[in-house]
Amino acid sequence: MEPTIQTAIDDIQSADADRRYHAFILLQRITDVPVDWAYEVWDVLLALTKDKNNHIRAIATQLLCNLAKSDPKNRMVADFDTVMAVTRDKMFVTARHTLQALWKVAAVGGKQRPLVLGRLKDWYGACVSHKNCSLIRYDIIVSLRALYDALKQDAAVRKLALDLIETEPDLKYRKKYAGVWGKTD
């Protein structure tokens, strides 16, 4: 792993918000394509999903989602519960960042896609008693739309999203969620 990457991994753990943010942006950009050093930082990022700082937790989950494409050993399948747990973070903004990044794990395909889709479907139904249910559902629909776009219009993803939207009893929110999809074909 090159020194720049190690420095950035160190910096995402910094108490300095600017330093942490710049390191995060760098790592997100670098991991937009598969990298060969994912497993060198995987355990560090996994541990950071439980950090006391919610910004660090959000950064860790987003980077792990981005690294899913660099995971030929399919570690994400075994570690997904840890990432998914952050979608229920006590700091709601952290949960939202994680939810909106999960599509990147599903985009990998293989065992990851049904795992992520199943968990998103379950959370869509289970969040009904959460005070931010409508935002959670919105983020799930946004994540599904991002996956649909990344996969060049996978009909099964579209069907899942539209089926979930149809279960929304509040017409105002159903319309808002449907707006994420607009014209899809």
Q: What is the mean pLDDT of residues 46-51?
A: 98
- DSSP string across 23-79: HHHHHHHHTTS--TTHHHHHHHHHHHTT-SSHHHHHHHHHHHHHHGGG-TT-HHHHH
Structure token digits, residue 74: 């399919």
- The CATH number of 3-181 is which of 2.30.40.10, 3.30.1490.270, 1.25.10.10, 3.40.220.10? 1.25.10.10
pLDDT of residue 159: 96
Residue with tokens 């995060």: 24
Please name the residues in contact with 171: beta carbons below 8 A apart, sequence gap of 6 or more.
none
Model confidence pLDDT, tens digit, residues 83-131 = 999 999 999 999 999 999 999 999 999 899 999 999 999 999 999 999 9
pLDDT of residue 130: 92
Short-list 183, 136, 132, CA closest to 158? 183
Model confidence pLDDT, tens digit, residues 118-149 = 999 999 999 999 999 999 999 999 999 999 99
How far is Cα 83 from Cα 49, in angstroms, rounded to an integer?
Answer: 7
pLDDT of residue 18: 95
